[in-house]
């Protein structure tokens, strides 16, 4: 199963940006966590980060074309980018929206995500562990899909 782990603006600054909110884990550590967890689960994981909205849109379009699963931390774009939301709506594979902080316990403008309505699920407030949990969830969905297909073919 191919999984795109996509991260929006400012996430490349993890470990140095607002450590009281986002923790001390660096972006390189986050990439390693995702790649290691993916290998352990037999997932083909690609991790990317951008501060350019058009670049994220291109990655979402590619994931849609591939039918790949996506773990997305849209960061600030969560709250206002209809373009990111619309690209997410085109995905054919599952989408797990992840936020390191609990967006519902922060400033009011962060309480709503335009992406959540088109996501399979949302994980927020669990730090970078949310990415690991999202990968485990996608692995579980993939396993269930294979079991259902086996039952359909044996019937």
| Whether CATH 3.40.50.720 fits 2-154 | no
Domain residue spans of the chain: 2-154
Q: How far apart are CA 105 and CA 63, in angstroms?
A: 31
Among all residues, which ones are annotated catalytic?
22, 99
Q: How far apart are CA 146 and CA 154, in angstroms?
A: 12
Residue-wise pLDDT for 92-110, tens only, equals 999 999 999 888 887 777 7
Please give the C-alpha separations between residue 30 and each of 13, 23, 48, 123, in angstroms, as whole numbers: 11, 11, 11, 16
Q: Is 86 marked as binding a ligand?
A: yes
pTM as predicted: 0.89
- Residue 155 is predicted with a pLDDT of 59
Q: Is 106 marked as binding a ligand?
A: no
- DSSP designation for 108: G
Contact 119, 93 (CB under 8 A): no
Residue 19 has pLDDT above 70, yes or no: no
Q: How far apart are CA 53 and CA 88, in angstroms?
A: 13
């Amino acid at each position: 199963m191919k999984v795109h782990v996509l991260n929006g603006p400012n996430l490349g600054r993890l470990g140095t940006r607002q450590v009281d909110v986002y923790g001390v884990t660096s972006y390189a550590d986050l990439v390693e966590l995702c790649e290691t967890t993916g290998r352990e689960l037999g997932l083909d994981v690609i991790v990317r980060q951008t501060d350019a909205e058009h670049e994220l849109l291109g990655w979402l379009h590619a994931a849609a074309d591939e039918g790949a699963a996506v773990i997305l931390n849209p960061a600030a774009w969560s709250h206002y980018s209809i373009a990111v939301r619309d690209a997410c709506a085109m995905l054919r594979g599952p989408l797990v929206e992840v936020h390191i902080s609990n967006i519902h316990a922060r400033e009011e403008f962060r309480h709503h995500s335009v992406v959540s309505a088109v996501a399979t699920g949302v994980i927020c407030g669990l730090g970078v562990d949310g990415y690991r949990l999202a990968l485990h969830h996608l692995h579980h969905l993939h396993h269930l899909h294979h079991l259902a297909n086996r039952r359909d073919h044996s019937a």
